[in-house]
């Protein structure tokens, strides 16, 4: 996969993405983005179905909401530390294999072992051990991997690459929902392991990363300071980070507690398959909108417009979930939400890379990735507060309606704040 140093068009520019890199072929882009599919397959199945179901069986209904909240909180907290730190390590890694793939190789097996531990855990303690293994080693893999795309994709193809990433994300969501919804946790574990192995095979076999024997190591004091994304060069990146964090909190409230929302509010005894159907409907519409939005954003160069409109659509649909009293209404809301979510996911990544200063792609992508783990963490903290304070006061049904209604506000605020980004279209 041929590439040349980003910034060739203007070496003094603080932003990545100036002209100078050759265009990537369709095959190159397909191979480069493929690992997003197994990664999202794994996490979709875990978050939406496997974790809630396993916790329900381990601790019972009375404690399930609070335990799901604090275990998710614990795992997300670990990931927040791991991703930027190992992203920074990846930026300075010297090897003939390149900067990114060596760390992926080192963390691969421990992350896969964590899957087996979590699904087979006989006690809550072993469940937590498995979850932490997946979060820590899986985020080492992801922090290194997500630096590859800014390294290798030229600016004029970032929207398309972002759409490709969103496509693989949604295919992973569909696969994760199907496997977790229709197979046992044991079979889910082995199926996800097989797909993860395929992802590693494609990344190591087909992605041609240049050697990094001349990579520069920064003093750790400077690296630590850089985690705070301060200074004028990071202004737009900070706003992209903030808006995405708001959207991710709302998204993970919906994802984490959808199983319980259908169980407690709609009275569905075993909502695992219903969650899967919602997921499939949402994902199929998201696949279509993600591809179209990514290509369109490259053509019209108006990423903020697409991100903002997508956020408004998600906000309106979140309200539809609250006022839905049948699964048919939930399915309709899922169709519209998928359109907004696919467009948002497709273009927001490209917007983040466009506003990222040059020189530390994996570290900055690790910082940007905190929006996902922090979104999980804050969504879980929100669920914990509701479980201990609001449910005893107003009841379970009203609490879950309040929880889902609040996500609409988060999506709408994120949609408005994206206009604070100035130096990209």
- Count the domains in the chain: 1
**Is residue 9 in some structural domain?**
no
Q: How far apart are CA 277 and CA 283, in angstroms?
A: 10
Residue 3 lies in a domain: no
Does residue 45 lie within any of the structural domains? yes
Domain range for 146: 26-420
Q: How large is the average pLDDT for residues 167-173?
A: 83
Q: What was the pLDDT predicted at 5? A: 36
pLDDT score at 374: 78
Is there a domain that residue 36 lies in?
A: yes
Q: What is the pLDDT of residue 340?
A: 92
CA distance 416 to 409: 11
The residue with greater pLDDT, 195 or 154, is 195
What is the value of pTM for the model shown?
A: 0.67
Least confident piece of the model among 75-79, 178-182, 198-202, 224-228 = 224-228
Query: In this predicted structure, what is the pLDDT of residue 335?
Result: 92
pLDDT of residue 218: 62
- pLDDT tens digit string along 271-329? 878 887 887 888 888 888 887 887 787 777 777 888 889 999 999 988 887 787 788 88
CATH number at residue 158: 1.20.1250.20
Looking at the predicted structure, is the pLDDT value of residue 144 above 90?
A: no
Q: If pLDDT is split at 50, 70 and 90, which confidence band does 358 have?
A: low
Q: At what angle do helices 101-119 and 61-91 cross, to 10 degrees?
A: 170
- The answer to whether position 371 is within a domain reads yes
Q: Is residue 289 part of a domain?
A: yes
Q: How many angstroms separate the CA atoms of 414 and 416, rounded? A: 5
What pLDDT sits at residue 345? 81
Residue 11 in domain: no
Does residue 4 form part of some domain?
Answer: no
At residue 217, does pLDDT exceed 70? no
């Amino acid at each position: 996969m041929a590439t040349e140093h980003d910034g060739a068009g203007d070496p003094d520019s603080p932003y990545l993405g100036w002209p100078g890199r050759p265009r990537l072929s369709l095959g190159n882009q397909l191979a480069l983005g493929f690992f997003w599919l197994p990664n999202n397959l794994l996490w979709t199945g875990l978050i939406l179905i496997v974790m809630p179901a396993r916790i329900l069986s381990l601790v019972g209904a009375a404690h399930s909401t609070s335990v799901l909240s604090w275990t998710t909180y614990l795992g997300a907290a670990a990931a927040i530390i791991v991703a930027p730190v190992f992203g920074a390590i990846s930026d300075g890694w010297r090897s003939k294999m390149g900067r990114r793939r060596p760390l992926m190789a080192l963390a691969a097996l421990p992350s896969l072992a964590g899957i087996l531990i979590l699904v087979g855990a006989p006690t809550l303690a072993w469940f937590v051990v498995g979850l932490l293994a997946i979060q820590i080693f899986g985020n080492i893999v992801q922090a290194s991997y997500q630096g590859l795309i800014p390294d290798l994709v030229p600016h004029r193809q970032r929207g398309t690459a972002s759409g490709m990433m969103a496509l693989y994300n949604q295919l992973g969501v569909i696969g994760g929902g199907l496997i977790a919804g229709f197979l046992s946790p044991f079979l889910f574990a082995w199926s996800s392991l097989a797909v993860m192995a395929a992802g590693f095979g494609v990344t190591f076999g087909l992605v041609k990363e240049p050697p990094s024997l001349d990579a520069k190591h920064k003093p750790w004091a400077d690296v630590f300071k850089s985690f705070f994304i301060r200074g004028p060069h990071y202004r737009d990146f900070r706003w992209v980070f903030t808006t995405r964090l708001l959207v991710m909190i709302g998204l993970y409230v919906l994802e984490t507690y959808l199983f319980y929302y259908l169980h407690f509010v709609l009275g569905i005894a075993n909502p695992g398959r219903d969650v899967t159907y919602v997921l499939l409907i949402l994902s199929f519409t998201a696949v279509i909108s993600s591809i179209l939005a990514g290509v369109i954003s490259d053509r019209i160069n108006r990423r903020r417009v697409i991100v903002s409109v997508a956020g408004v659509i998600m906000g309106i649909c979140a309200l539809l979930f609250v006022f839905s009293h049948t699964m048919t209404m939930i399915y309709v809301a899922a169709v519209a939400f998928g359109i907004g979510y696919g467009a948002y996911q497709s273009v927001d990544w490209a917007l983040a890379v466009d506003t990222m200063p040059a020189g530390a792609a994996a570290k900055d992508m690790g910082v940007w990735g905190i929006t996902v783990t922090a979104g999980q963490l804050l969504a879980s903290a929100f669920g914990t507060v509701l479980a201990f304070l609001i449910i005893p006061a107003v009841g379970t049904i009203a609490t879950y309606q309040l929880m889902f209604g609040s996500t609409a506000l988060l999506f709408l605020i994120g949609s408005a704040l994206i206009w604070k980004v100035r130096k990209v279209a």
